[in-house]
Amino acid sequence: MADKKYIINYEEFASASQMTPEDRELVAAAIDAQKGSYSPYSHFQVGAALRLTDGTLLKGANQENAAYPSGLCAERVVMFFAGANYPDVPFETLAIAGSDHGVLCDSPASPCGACRQVMAEYQKKHNHPFNIILVGSKRIRKFHCVDDVLPFIFDSLSVD
Ligand code: THU
């Protein structure tokens, strides 16, 4: 038996003003993307903004449904759009912002497990690590690859 540690490094900012202009733009885009949220059941508006390595900036928002499981999170909306329309362009940075009843949450939005697994798939598909920015009104966190939000990623090719 061996005791092991898994250390995750990430950056934390008190506000977007401390970030690079590119990241500031993405944070603003994630907040703006919340306008597209269709969330009559949870009243939780999530916006996601994705910058591809060719500079393309895409937005998505959560879409709910009376049959609850038929809805989809904002992150997957934008990632699947990118996968369908820009299949060969790797992801550069994904920013996510969540609001409860229209008020940006204090704590950074934290993606669900299913969205993290989808992030992992695109990171693997493109063989290109990408940044993930989680936006809250009191602090913003920036992670530098999917492994840092999903340690020990499931990969059917590496099951042993
Ligand atoms: N939601 C997202 O869009 N992203 C997440 O990572 C977590 C949750 C959405 C799903 C649902 O429409 C609402 O937030 C409440 O769970």
**For residue 47, what is the domain's CATH number?**
3.40.140.10
pLDDT at position 157, please? 61
Distance 46 CA to ligand 1 centre (A): 6
The answer to whether position 97 is within a domain reads yes
What is the rounded distance in angstroms from the CA atom of residue 100 to the CA atom of residue 77? 19
pLDDT at position 78, please? 98
What is the rounded distance in angstroms from the CA atom of residue 127 to the CA atom of residue 145? 11
pLDDT at position 159, please? 52
The answer to whether position 98 is within a domain reads yes
Taking the CA of residue 111 as reference, the ligand 1 atom at the shortest distance is 6
The answer to whether position 160 is within a domain reads no
Q: What is the pTM of this model?
A: 0.96
Taking the CA of residue 39 as reference, the ligand 1 atom at the shortest distance is 12
Closest CA to 96 of 140, 130, 56: 140
The answer to whether position 126 is within a domain reads yes
pLDDT at position 154, please? 84
Taking the CA of residue 110 as reference, the ligand 1 atom at the shortest distance is 6
Count CA atoms within 13 Å of residue 153 on its CB side: 20
Task: Assign 101 a pLDDT band (cuts: 50, 70, 90).
Answer: very high
Q: For residue 12, which amino acid is it?
A: E
The answer to whether position 39 is within a domain reads yes
Q: For residue 112, which amino acid is it?
A: C
The answer to whether position 1 is within a domain reads no
Mean pLDDT of the chain: 96
Closest CA to 49 of 129, 110, 133: 133
Q: Report the pLDDT averaged over residues 83-109.
A: 97
The answer to whether position 43 is within a domain reads yes
Catalytic residues: 75
Whole domain around residue 105: which residue ranges?
A: 21-148
Pocket of ligand 1 (CB under 6 A): 39, 42, 44, 46, 62, 64, 71, 73-75, 111-112, 115
Q: For the chain, state the CA radius of gyration.
A: 16
141 pLDDT above the threshold of 90: yes
Count of domains observed in the chain? 1
Residue whose Cα lies nearest atom 2 of ligand 1: it is: 73
The answer to whether position 129 is within a domain reads yes
Distance 99 CA to ligand 1 centre (A): 10
Task: Assign 29 a pLDDT band (cuts: 50, 70, 90).
Answer: very high
Count CA atoms within 13 Å of residue 115 on its CB side: 23
